[in-house]
């Protein structure tokens, strides 16, 4: 008979089970179902996926049936009130992976119910919403975290290490590009694409990387873009977006970054997503290409449609381990495991009387805490306001950050009028 102590439990809830669930959450929960989660600081923890909330329930239930034995037989709630019903089940933390304009409502319900929260990027679309979630998390004594998995990409960790260690100094400018296939805008996201833009969806990956890696004071945001493929050429839905953000270093010199995104790249593009960056420093240059970092494979009848020529094996590669086990690993999965470790440490990493101290320590991690997402959310809110004005016939607006008129202020070309998007300091 085993003499091992009974494991702790962290039953999980999941809101939204679409593409990103399949790529990163599913492998994490299947792995946790098989092996649990262990850390010397908190012991052995069971992490069953206990209950889920989705729009129709179809995909969730199909997956549950197909994965019998590989995943906990979770409750499935669908339609109106699904999140509320899910929160009535036995749950310690909840992951939210709904379309980005539906994050806030679900997150608010999760935090109000006193559950730890992990939400997909971008956390929310406005600073007012972010303030509300941050205050709720503090009031309820739980973690509220956001997933920016590219911060855990080994290449980006190396970049940040070189900057942190003073090997690369004083970034001056940079460009990033992240291009998604047409299949994303035309098929995958068809249900919620109207009025949306690829900047909010993917530029945030690099916005967060820039903000977290280089720091500085965010000064201004501008953006433009193109329409006519996903929706009408004069409508509110964007094919591609070019975003520019300006920061000021402590010495008063500026840095400027351009982030170009699209979700209308041809489906026969050789990679899943085109991702490239270049950052220029006072004393160096960093060139990174996340797609072309090593492997090119061609398979008759498969590439480049059902399978891609260049594959990113760092993100969530599904592999057969040398010892025969089939696993899926990479930074996309690791970032979720890391969050669950933070919850486990908070709840089980020492005596109950010390929980407050452990909670504070985990909340102070600025790579994922919602309280540290201010600049990224400010940039998203500014970009969306600029694109909204553009679609309404007023292109070329600029948003300035923390100036004499407010925290986030939109200025219109040729006009002395301005719009305060957020009053308080960003």
Ligand X SMILES: NC(=O)c1ccc[n+]([C@@H]2O[C@H](COP(=O)([O-])OP(=O)(O)OC[C@H]3O[C@@H](n4cnc5c(N)ncnc54)[C@H](O)[C@@H]3O)[C@@H](O)[C@H]2O)c1
Give residues in contact with ligand X (CB under 6 A): 15-21, 53-55, 59, 82, 97-100, 102, 120-121, 147, 149, 188-189, 201
Tokens of 64: 């549950």
First-to-last C-alpha distance (Å) of the chain: 58
CB of 178 vs ligand X, minimal distance in Å: 10
Output 149 or 227, the one with its CB closest to ligand X.
Answer: 149
Q: How many CB atoms lie within 10 A of CB 381?
A: 26
C-beta of 53: minimal distance to ligand X in Å?
5
Helix axes 374-391, 127-140, angle to 10 degrees: 150
Smallest gap from residue 202 Cβ to ligand X (A): 8
Which of the 8 DSSP states describes residue 187?
A: I
Q: Nearest-CA neighbor of 21 among 151, 143, 188?
A: 188
User: CB 234: neighbour CB atoms within 10 A?
Assistant: 9
Question: Considering the complex, what minimum distance in angstroms separates the CB of residue 335 from ligand X?
Answer: 8
Cβ closest to ligand X, residue 59 vs residue 145: 59
Cβ-based nearer residue to ligand X, 54 or 368: 54
Instruction: Pick between residue 92 and residue 118 the one whose CB is nearest to ligand X.
Output: 118
**Residue 144: which H helix or E strand, with range?**
strand 144-147
Give DSSP secondary structure letters for 31-88. HHHHH-EEETTTEEEE--EEEEEESSSHHHHHHHHHTBTTB---EEEESTTHHHHHHT
Question: Exposed (0-12), middle (13-18) or buried (19+): which is 238, by Cβ within 10 Å?
Answer: buried
Cα separation, 318 vs 27, whole angstroms: 9
Return the bridge partners of 285, or none: 280
Of 189 and 345, nearer to ligand X (C-beta) is 189
Least Å distance, CB 4 to ligand X, is 35
Q: How far is the CB of 209 from ligand X (least distance, A)?
A: 12
Looking at beta carbons, which residue is closest to ligand X?
18
Instruction: Show Cβ contacts of residue 413 under 8 Å, excluding neighbours closer than 6 positions.
Output: 394, 396, 397
User: Least CB distance from residue 13 to ligand X, whole Å?
Assistant: 11
Rank residues 97 and 378 by Cβ distance to ligand X and give the closer one: 97
Residue 86: CB atoms within 10 A of its CB come to 28
Is the Cβ of residue 36 or residue 99 nearer to ligand X in the bound state? Answer: 99
Q: Is the CB of 100 or the CB of 211 nearer to ligand X?
A: 100
Minimum CB distance to ligand X, residue 283 (Å): 32
Decide if 91 contacts 117 (C-beta within 8 A): no
C-beta closer to ligand X: residue 370 or 397:
370
Task: Kindly report the number of other CB atoms within 10 A of residue 205's CB atom.
Answer: 24
- At closest approach, how far in Å is the CB of 92 from ligand X? 19
């Amino acid at each position: 008979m085993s003499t091992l102590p009974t494991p702790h439990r962290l039953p999980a809830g999941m809101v939204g089970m679409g593409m990103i669930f399949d790529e990163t959450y599913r492998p994490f929960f299947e792995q946790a179902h098989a092996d649990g989660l262990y850390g010397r600081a908190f012991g052995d923890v069971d992490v069953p996926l206990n209950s889920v909330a989705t729009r129709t329930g179809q995909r969730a239930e199909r997956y549950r049936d197909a994965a019998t034995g590989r995943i906990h037989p979770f409750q499935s709630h669908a339609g109106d009130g699904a999140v509320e019903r899910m929160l009535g089940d036995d749950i310690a933390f909840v992951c939210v992976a709904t379309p980005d304009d539906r994050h806030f409502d679900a997150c608010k319900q999760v935090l109000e119910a006193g559950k730890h929260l992990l939400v997909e990027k971008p956390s929310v679309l406005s600073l007012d919403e972010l303030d509300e979630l941050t205050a709720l998390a503090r009031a309820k004594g739980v973690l509220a975290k956001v997933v920016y998995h590219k911060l855990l990409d080994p290449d980006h960790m190396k970049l940040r290490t070189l900057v942190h260690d003073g090997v690369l100094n004083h970034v001056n400018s940079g460009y990033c590009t992240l291009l998604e296939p047409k299949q994303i805008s035309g098929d995958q996201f068809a249900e919620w694409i109207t009025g949306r833009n690829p900047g909010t969806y993917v530029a945030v990956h690099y916005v967060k990387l820039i903000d977290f890696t280089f720091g500085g004071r965010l000064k201004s945001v501008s953006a433009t873009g193109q329409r006519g493929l996903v929706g009408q050429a004069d409508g509110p839905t964007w094919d591609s977006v070019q975003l520019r953000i300006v920061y000021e270093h402590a010495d008063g010199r500026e840095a400027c970054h351009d982030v170009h995104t699209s979700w209308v790249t041809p489906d026969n593009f050789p990679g899943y997503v085109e991702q490239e960056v270049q950052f220029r420093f006072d004393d160096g240059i960093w060139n990174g290409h996340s797609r072309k970092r090593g492997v090119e494979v061609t398979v008759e009848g498969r590439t480049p449609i059902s399978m891609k020529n260049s594959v990113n094996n760092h993100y969530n590669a599904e592999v057969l381990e040398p010892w025969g086990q089939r696993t899926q690993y990479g930074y996309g999965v690791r970032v979720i495991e890391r969050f669950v470790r933070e919850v486990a440490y908070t709840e089980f990493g020492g005596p109950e009387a010390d929980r407050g101290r452990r909670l504070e320590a985990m909340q102070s991690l600025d790579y994922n805490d919602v309280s540290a997402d201010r600049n990224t959310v400010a940039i998203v809110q500014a970009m969306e306001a600029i694109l909204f004005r553009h679609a309404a016939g007023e292109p070329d607006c600029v948003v300035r950050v923390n100036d004499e008129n407010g925290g986030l202020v939109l200025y219109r070309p040729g006009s002395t009028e301005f719009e305060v998007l957020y009053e308080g300091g960003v």
